Each structure stands twice: as C-alpha cells, then as structure tokens.
Amino acid sequence: MASERDTARAIIAAIGGAGNVRGLTHCATRLRFELADATLVDQAAIDANPAVLAGFPRQGDRYQVVIGGDVEDIYHAVMALPGMTDVDADDVETADTGTTTDDVTLDEAVSDTPIPTFTAWRERGARWLTWFFEYLSDSFRPIIGVLLGASIIIAIVNLATAFGMTVGGDDSPGGTFITVMWKGVFYFLPIIVAYNASRKLKVDPWLGAMIMAAFMTPQYTGLMDLPTASCSVDATMGMRSCVVPVFGVPMLVSDYSGNVFVPLLMVLALAGLYHGLRRVVPANMRMVFLPFLSMAVITPLTGFVIGPFGVWLSNGICAALAWLSVHAPFAFAVLLPLIYPFLVPVGLHWPLNALMLMNVQMLGYDFIQGPMAVWNFACFGSTAGVLIVSLREHDKAMRSTALGALTAGLLGGLTEPSLYGIHLRHRLIYRRMLAGCAAGGVVIGVLGLMFPSVTPSGTVVHVVTASAFAFTSLLTIPVFDPMWVYMVSIGVGFTVPMLLIVALDYRTPEERAHMRAADLDADSDDDDTSANDDDAVSDDDAVSDGGGTAKTVETPPAEPVKPGEPVKPAEPIEDGVTLIGSPVPGRTIALDDVDDPVFASRALGEGVGVLPPSDPVSGAETPVIAPVSGILKTVAKTGHAFGIKTDDDIEVLVHIGIGTVKMQGTGFAMMASKGVRVRAGDVLATVDFGRIVESGCNAVTVMTVTNSSRMATVSPVLDVMLQPGDTAIRVER
C-alpha cells in the first residue's frame, strides 16, 4: 500500500502540481482545493488512485478530493510537500458538506474568465447574486444577538415610559448611562460590520475594523468643525455633512456612526487589494507590508470616494423608501408582508435589514419593521395552528416541533424554526399564512392612515414606526408606535392563519394519509418490539441484503442512553458478519435521501442517515455513541464527525449533521479524543440538535462504512425507528 507521502504526491500531481494550488482546507472526509486553473486536473488519475474515494469539481476553480477517515493525515502530508509552503491553508473549514453558497468566493465572483454565451452570463449573474447575499448575511449574522439585546433594552425603556415610570432623561447621568447601554451597538456598528465582512472575504478582520475605526475617531469627525469646512444638512434625512480641503483636495466628511453601506463597500475594495498584495508580497514580509499598504491605500480611498458614495447610496435608498411610505403608505403596508415570506427562504431579506438600521440611524425611526412584523406573526400564527392540530391528533413529533418553533418566534422573533422546520415541509401552510399577511397588512395600512405616528422630529407619518432595530417578538412591542395599532395588526396576522389551519388543516389529503400510515407503522413497530416473543421479528430487524430481498437479524434491545452511560454493544452474530449500531436515536433513511451529493453518491461508502425522532428544541443534549468498538482514527475539531476503525478493518464514519462544521463546535461537546480505543456504546460526544436546526443546517446524522468496496455486502437498515445501539448497518466481510 502506498505511503501517505506517496498518496499526497499523486494527488498533487493529478490536480496540476503545487503551483496550481491557491488554497487548501479539509473537513472530516475530504480535501478542498482552491485552484488557479481547474482545467489542469487529471480526472482519470484521481479516479485511478486507490487511496481516493472520489474527486469532483465545485463552483469556480474549486476541487474536492474525498479521502475518508485518513483525510487529516493526507492533508498534512500534502502540506509538507515542496511548493506547498505558501499555500493558504486552514485546518478548520468555514463550510461543510451540503452547502453550496459558501463555496462561492470573492475571487470566483469577480473572475475575468471569458464567458461566451448568454447562458454562461446568466449563470455568472446568479453566482454573483448568490455570493452577494451570502456576503450580506455573513456580515450581519454574528451580531444578531447583540442587536436583539439592544432592542430589548430600548423596549423596556419605552414600556417603562408608557406606564409613567421615570428612568432618567438623556440629560441625567442615569438616563445617559441607560442610553449608552444600547447605543454603543449601533454607534460602532460600522466597525463590527467591517470586522465580519473582512472575515467573510478572508481578509485580516482587524485590518478592516481598524480602517473603519479611523473614520469614527474624534479627529476625523472634528474636521467638520474646522473654519475651512463648508457644511450643509440634508433636508430629507437631516444628516450633516461638510466639505473639507484635505491635502488641497475637497473631502466630503460625514458622521459614519451606524452606517452599514460604507463598511460593506470598503471591505470589498480592501479584499481586492489585500488578496492582490498577497500574490506579490513575499511571505516573510507580509506581516508588515500587507497591513501598511492596505491602510495607506484604502483609508484615503474610503475618505475621498467610498465613504461619500456609500452615504449617497444609503441616503438615496432610504429617501426613496421613505417617500413611498409617505405617499403610498397603504400599498407599502399591504405589499411588504406579502413579499417577505418569499424573501426570507432565499436570504433576500438581508438588504432590508440593512435599510432598517440605516433608517433608525438617519431618520431616528424605521417604517419597514411594522409591516414586516405582520408577516412574522402570520408565520407564528401558522405554527400555533399546527400546534393545535398536533395536540388534537396526539401527534407528539409535530407537537414538539411546533412548540419549540412557536416559543422561539414569540419570545425571540425568530421565523427560521417555523419556516424550515414546518412551513417549507408542508407548502399548503403558505396559503394560510399569506391570508394572514394580507389581512394584517390591510389592518396596519388602514389604521396607519387613521392613526398616524409622530416621529422624534415631529413629523406625522401614516405608518407604524419603530424607534430601534428590533426582532419583532412579544418582548419588543413597546418599540413600535402607535403601539396599539401595531398590536391589533400583528394580532390579526397571527389569528387568521391559525384559525384557517385549525379549520382546514395544514396538510394535503395525501400528506395526511402518508403521516397516518407512518404512525400506524410506528405503532406496529412498538408492539412488535415490546411483545418479547422470540419468534416475533420487528421491522427494526429487517435489513436488505443488497439484492432487493429482506433478511431478519435479531438485535439486542437498547435503552435510551444518558451521557456517561454505555449501552450494550452490537456484536458479530456469526462468522464474517458484524452489526453496526445507530449512534443516535431516530428514523433511518437511505443515503439517496441525504441532502449531500458526496454521501448520496456513496463516495464515502454505503450507509444510512438517521433523522432525529422529532424536530428538536434547542437546549436538549443528545448523546452520540460509538457504533462499533475500535480506534478513533478521526475526530473533527468541531466535534461533528468521528471515524472509527475496528480490529477487523471496518472503517466507520459518523457525521453529525450536514453543514455543521460552520457552527465551529457550538452545540457540540466532545467526550473522546483521537487515537483512543472506544467500545461500542461509549459516548463520543453530546449534540444539541436544536442548535443545528436553528443554525440552518440539516440535523441528519450520517453513518457510512467508508471502505465498503472491500466488504462482501454492506446492508443498511432503512425506514425504521432506532434507539442508540440498535442495528443500523449489517456488514459481511
């Protein structure tokens, strides 16, 4: 067998040599290359390499080589080869299998490769758009928590004021202190956004943050107070800006606090320069000259060009929307909640989130969040309807899912658990939900015309306004004005879909029949398992022999497992046959139904996916047990993947979730380390499946025999509910 170094040499040769590698990372099973020219890859050589399970191109000049459990050793062998020293490398991937948008990089989006056909131009445009919205979402997503925290502080202050309680004005020490508790988040938002955006584009995040921080120093803002400054105030937005001669060249100086357009544009320019410099500056000089040259070029470019353009762009968009809300408030209030249900699933709502922040900063209020909240509560009302139906039908799985999603929505303003956990799985819900969006939109539009809001500047506007960027939950109701108009509107939006779903159901007749049949099968499985009859064979014990017929295998019963408690291991039942237990509880599915092309293609061997028994709620820890006894050959640093090699050379991969590496270990607690011997049933880790779902990842646990080609048969146990340790795969050597 070839050594790891020989395998590494063969892989590098097949992808065009070390000079063709611009970047290399690895996840639990595969090497991920970023190439200078993907056309140089010798696919035949990759396919012929016995150490490689598969090789396939990705978007742009990306290429992935599937290795299996030995990927980390091969990765280090590749990085030790001559010519790989200067290659950008990272042991921790920012994206895992199953995610395609993360594979789109800035370099790919701005590639100057000739595209000769209209179809290719359209595909390139789609790639640009995908990358753009991923750029926006990743620039804001990490700070959602602090934005929510700040909005709740504002809501508490507004609620106290509404009840006549004095919390101190802005001119008092107490009031000033309460103000700074939330205002710091919005004031320094440009620095935070610049940091996140730089990380997204693989630029030193502190470099992006510090360039933006330069424009928030007292020295920069003090330029507006110089005698040579010529200042004016925008009549629409009320924003002061001054033209100041700097080095004899006029510079438009503005207050950038709270602005998100300027840092987003600045980091785009910074990324282009930064990655360009990396290609020409020697590695031993990058620490000094990369930040120096970047600051020397991007800081004045932002001051003279990017900053003024960003202010003009943000002012223009906000003014246009403000004009629409003033001159067509009813149409604005009705259309926005009807559009939102189609924007959120594809990420198109992120630009509107940026505009909300800009409205609060420039106008002192926002007019988008009121109508948007109608959609949010229509979403929550739909979930409430599903919860009532599940209670009526004693559907424990859906009841758990709906209860968790409804709690996250009403208290946290989060629509994703409802949307991805329920609504997109039962598309009939959208009809009921849109009815609620329309009804709530009409109510907020009509009442807004009759009972206008008064802005901090004294302007009367016929829309519901928000005094801060807020997640539209029950906790942030005091942020909105008029509060009672807002409450009536979201109440209508919530109630209409809930009543429609309770009366008309959320499933088609076919879906109802399918779910009832599944429940009957589950009840039958439970009866067979609890019968304790030696002659009875449950569906859990029926496995395919790979030829379309079913065989029966007796498996030892397994009780639910708690952290630290081993379960009875699956043992060979006869010579040459090994039973591999399920690492987690849940229903098994075929790899064809796993939302990942590599697993579905069997490049990592035959196996099963295990779906959690119900859509999980965040906070509940589920133990992940060793499915077999052996040596832990691979342990992902993020805790989402484990590779075990048994004494009889069966290699088993346990991969928890799809795309979970991007969670960077959040929701995972490892209890085993690489190189140790484990017994079947030992707890490898605990996982919060609710966190996985909330992060937008697929919660399926995939288990494969990575060296299936060396086995006589690998037979998965499909479409059955298993407890940890129950047989999931039957292997004949």
Residues annotated as catalytic are 27, 655
Residue 591 and residue 599 in contact, taking contact as beta carbons nearer than 8 Å: yes
CA angle (580 as vertex; 717, 686 as ends), nearest 5? 100
Residue 143 and residue 192 in contact, taking contact as beta carbons nearer than 8 Å: yes
Q: Which residues lie closer than 8 Å to 268 by C-beta, 6 or more apart?
A: 106, 201
- Distance between terminal CA atoms of the chain? 20
| Alpha-carbon gap, residue 279 to 87, rounded angstroms | 10
| Alpha-carbon gap, residue 41 to 63, rounded angstroms | 9
**CB burial string 150-163: b at 16+ within 10 A, e below:** bbbbbbbbbbeeee
**Residue whose structure tokens are 């091969």:** 74
Residue 251 DSSP code = E
| Alpha-carbon gap, residue 596 to 5, rounded angstroms | 29
The Cβ of residue 488 has, within 10 Å, a number of other Cβ atoms equal to: 15
| Alpha-carbon gap, residue 7 to 52, rounded angstroms | 9
In what helix (H) or strand (E) does residue 711 lie, and over which residues does it extend? none
Q: Which residues lie closer than 8 Å to 532 by C-beta, 6 or more apart?
A: none
The tokens describing 511, both together, are 């879906």
Helix (H, G, I), strand (E, B) or coil at 394: coil
**Residue whose structure tokens are 């009889």:** 648
| Alpha-carbon gap, residue 292 to 290, rounded angstroms | 6
CA angle (521 as vertex; 516, 522 as ends), nearest 5? 95
Pairing of β 88-90 and β 21-26:
parallel
Whether omega for the bond prior to residue 482 falls within 30 degrees of 0, making it cis, is: yes
* Bridge partners for 669 per DSSP: 686
